[in-house]
Amino acid sequence: MEVSKEYAVQMHGITKLFGTFRALDNVNLDVKKGSIHAILGENGAGKSTLMNVLYGLYQADAGEIYLNGEKVVIKNPNVAIEHGIGMVHQHFMLVDNFTVTQNIILGTEVTSRFGVLDMKKAREEILNIVKKYGLEVDPDAKIEDISVGMQQRVEILKALYRGAEILILDEPTAVLTPQEIEELISIMHSLIEDGKTIIIITHKLKEIKASSDVCTIIRRGQYIDTVPVADVDEEELATKMVGHAVKLVVDKTPAKPGDVVFEIDHLTVKDDRGLEAVKDLSLKVRKGEIVGIAGVDGNGQKELVEAITCLTRSESGTIKINGTEIQNTTPRNVIEHKVSTIHEDRQRRGLVLPFTVAENMVIEKYRTPEFKRHGMQNREKAQEYTKKLIQDYDIRPAGCENQPVRGLSGGNQQKVIIAREVSNDPDLLIAVQPTRGLDVGAIEYVHKTLVRERDAGKAILLISLELDEVMNVSDTIDVIYDGTIVAEYKQGEVDENTIGLLMAGGKQNENAVQNT
C-alpha cells in the first residue's frame, strides 16, 4: 500500500522478535483517517504487540511507521503522545486513591504562574471533553469508588486530554457489561464525528460489526487480510481469523441431569462494606447439567463465588456439595471436596505470574501424593503433566512449560487456568467469566469443554456477564438480580429479551418458575 496523507496510521512490514520467537512477521496496517479500524486475531496472534510497537513501548526489529503520510520513529510513549497517539491498555494504569481529575492530569500538570497546580483550569478542560463526547464521569470521584466501565472512560479521557487524535483501545470491552459496551460504542462514534481515528482490538465479532469500518486480521504473527466490515459476516471473519471454519453456536444434545450435586440454601453474604450482597439465595446444580447465572455485574455474583470458595464468610444459609456442608470452611477444604473454580480475576486469584506454566499448573496438586516425593516436588511429573495439558488445550507457544506465565498473552493465561481446573476432575466446576479475553476459536473450545465435562457427568455452574454465553451454553438459566435468583428457565423456554429485562430488575414473566 502506498504511503498517503489519507491514512492516519500506516505500519509497513513490521517484524518483532522476542528472542528468536517471531511475534510479528512482516505485518501491515493501514488505518484511514476518521475511521474505526478493528484488529482481529487469535490469542497470542500479536495484536497487543503490534499496538505496543505503535505506541513506542516496543521497538520493531524491522518495518516503518507513517503517520499522516510522514515517516516517524516512535522511540517511546512520550514520542507517541507528541504525535497524537493515545492508548488505553487492557489493564488500566490509574492511581486508586486519586480522583479522576488528579489521574487525568498526572504527568501533564498545568501550573499557574508561580508553579502552583491549577486544578480549576484542568477540571474545566476535562469537563469540556466530557461534554463534547458524552463521556459521563464525575471528575471529583476517587478511582477506587467508580466502576470498571467508568475507569475505562477515565483512561480515554486521559488520552484525549493529552491531545490524542489516534486512539488505540486494547480489548476495551472484555471488562465491560453489555450496557457499558453499547455506551462505549456510541462514545467511539462521537469521537469519529470529531475527526479522531480509532484502532480497536476485540475478540467479539458482534462488536466489530457494530462499531468498525475496516478490520485487519492477523494470525500467529502473520498479516492475513484487511476487509471492509460491511462486506463480511461474523462467520467469515471467524474463519479468516482461525484459518478454518468455526462454529459460533454451541453444539450439544439435551442434558440428562442426575442427582443434585451442589445445593445452596438461603444463603446470605455481605460485601466488604458490610452490606448484604447475596440475599437469601438458593440454587441447585445436578450431575450432568450446566446451570448458567445471567446478571448485570455487581448483583452479587462476586460475593456468591467468594462464599462458595470460602474466601469470604457466609452470614447465614448453607452450601452443600454431595451432601456435605462446606460454607465457612477453608478454600482447601472446598478444593478437597472436588470443587474447581475458574476465577474471573486471572492475574490476582488465578495465577502466580512469576511462576512458570508448570508451577502454575500444579498449584492445587503439588500436595497430592502424585506430585510429591517425600516432601519434595516431583518436578518431572509436573513437567510431563503440563506438557500434555499445553498440547490438549493448545496453549501457545507450545513448549512454554518452563516459561513464566507472565510472558504468555492474556488469552493463553486464561487457557492455563481452564486447563488446570478442568483437569482436576471435579464434581462441581464453577466457571466465572471463563471466556473473558479469549478469541472465538478458543471460546468454541471452552464451550465444548464445558459440554464435554457435563456429558461426563459433572455438575457445572457458569457465571457470566455475557448473556449470549449463558443462553447458549446453559441447560438451566438462572437470573440474578440484587443478590438473589429472580427467575429460572430451561434452555429454549425463554428469549434474550425476557432475560435482559429481568437482569435489569424488570418484572418476572408469569410462566417462570421461581427458585426451584
Partner 1 sequence: MKMLSKILKKQITSTIIALLFGFLVAAIVLAIAGYNPGQAFGALFKGMLSKPKYISNVIIKATPIILTGLSVAFAFKTGLFNIGAEGQYVAGSIAAVLVGVKLNLPAVIQVPLVVLAGVLGGMVFGSVVGFLKAKFGIHEVITSIMLNWISLYLSNFIVSSQAYHLPNSTSTYPVNESSYTMILPKWKTSDAGMAALKPNKWLYEMMLKTDVNVGIVIAILMAVVIWVLLYRSNKGYELRAVGFNRDAAEFAGINVNRNIVQAMLIAGALSGLAGALSITGIAPHKISTLAAFENYGFNGLSVAMIAGSSPIGCVFAGLLFGGLLYGGQSVQQEVGAPTEIINIMIGTIVFFVALTKVVPALAERLEKRGVGHAQ
Ligand X SMILES: Nc1ncnc2c1ncn2[C@@H]1O[C@H](COP(=O)(O)OP(=O)(O)OP(=O)(O)O)[C@@H](O)[C@H]1O
Residue ranges binding ligand X (CB under 6 A): 18, 23, 41, 43-49, 396-397, 407-412
Q: Which is nearer to Mg ion, 55 or 133 (CB)?
A: 55
CB of 171 to ligand X, least distance (A): 7
CB-CB contact of 211 with 200 (8 Å): yes
CB-CB contact of 487 with 283 (8 Å): no
Q: Which is nearer to ligand X, 41 or 350 (CB)?
A: 41
> In whole angstroms, what is the distance from residue 2 CA to residue 132 CA?
34
Interface residues toward Mg ion, by CB under 5 A: 48, 410
> In whole angstroms, what is the distance from residue 152 CA to residue 150 CA?
5
How many CB atoms within 10 Å of residue 459? 29
For residue 122, CA distances in Å to 59, 113, 166, 323 come to 33, 15, 22, 60
Residue type at 345? D
Q: Does residue 331 touch partner 1 according to CB under 8 A?
A: yes
CB of 373 to ligand X, least distance (A): 32
> What is the footprint of partner 1 within residues 357-376 (CB under 8 A)?
359, 363-364, 366-367, 372, 375-376
Residue 43 site contact among ligand X, partner 1, Mg ion, none (CB < 5 to 8 Å, cut-off depends on kind): ligand X
Any bridge partners for residue 269, and if so which?
Answer: 278
Question: Which listed residue (351, 416, 442, 502) binds partner 1 by CB under 8 A?
Answer: 351
> What is the footprint of partner 1 within residues 284-323 (CB under 8 A)?
309, 311
CA 501 from chain center: how many Å? 24
Residue 23 site contact among ligand X, partner 1, Mg ion, none (CB < 5 to 8 Å, cut-off depends on kind): ligand X
CB of 317 to Mg ion, least distance (A): 40
Residue 309 site contact among Mg ion, partner 1, ligand X, none (CB < 5 to 8 Å, cut-off depends on kind): partner 1
> What is the footprint of partner 1 within residues 217-256 (CB under 8 A)?
none
CB-CB contact of 479 with 501 (8 Å): no
* Residue of 229, 296, 338, 199 lying closest to 506 (CA atoms): 296
Q: Does residue 62 touch partner 1 according to CB under 8 A?
A: yes
Residue 46 site contact among ligand X, partner 1, Mg ion, none (CB < 5 to 8 Å, cut-off depends on kind): ligand X
Residue nearest to ligand X (CB): 411
Residue type at 107? G
Three-point CA angle 137, 146, 300, nearest 5°: 135
Q: Does residue 335 touch partner 1 according to CB under 8 A?
A: yes
Residue 352 site contact among Mg ion, partner 1, ligand X, none (CB < 5 to 8 Å, cut-off depends on kind): partner 1
Using DSSP's 3-state secondary structure scheme, residue 504 falls into coil
CB of 202 to ligand X, least distance (A): 9
Residue identified by cell 481515528 is 197
- Of 178-186, 192-200, 343-351, 388-396, which part binds partner 1 (CB under 8 A)? 343-351
* Residue of 78, 82, 87 lying closest to 67 (CA atoms): 82
CB of 420 to partner 1, least distance (A): 9
Residue 274 site contact among partner 1, Mg ion, ligand X, none (CB < 5 to 8 Å, cut-off depends on kind): none
Q: Which is nearer to partner 1, 244 or 374 (CB)?
A: 374
**DSSP element (H, E) containing 31:** strand 21-32
- Altogether, the residues listed in the chain come to a count of 516
Write out 224-290 in H/E/C secondary structure. Answer: EEEEEHHHCCHHHHHHHHHCCCCCCCCCCCCCCCCCEEEEEEEEEEECCCCCEEEEEEEEEEECCEE
Q: Which is nearer to ligand X, 40 or 459 (CB)?
A: 40
CB of 237 to Mg ion, least distance (A): 18
CB-CB contact of 39 with 201 (8 Å): yes
Question: Which listed residue (154, 164, 334, 486) binds partner 1 by CB under 8 A?
Answer: 334
CB of 215 to ligand X, least distance (A): 14
C-alpha cell at 472: 447458549
**Residues of 394-403 as b/e, b for ≥16 C-beta within 10 angstroms?**
bbbbeebbee
* Residue of 329, 2, 297 lying closest to 173 (CA atoms): 297
DSSP-derived letter for residue 165 is S
Residue 109 site contact among Mg ion, ligand X, partner 1, none (CB < 5 to 8 Å, cut-off depends on kind): none
Q: Which is nearer to ligand X, 31 or 408 (CB)?
A: 408
CB of 352 to partner 1, least distance (A): 5
CB of 93 to ligand X, least distance (A): 16
CB of 358 to partner 1, least distance (A): 11
C-alpha cell at 492: 429454549
Q: Which residues contact 321 (CB under 8 A, 6 or more apart)?
A: 261, 262, 334, 337, 338, 339, 427, 428
Residue 335 site contact among ligand X, Mg ion, partner 1, none (CB < 5 to 8 Å, cut-off depends on kind): partner 1
CB of 76 to Mg ion, least distance (A): 20
Q: Does residue 355 touch partner 1 according to CB under 8 A?
A: yes
Residues that bind partner 1 (CB under 8 A): 17, 59, 61-62, 309, 311, 330-336, 341, 343, 348-355, 359, 363-364, 366-367, 372, 375-377, 379
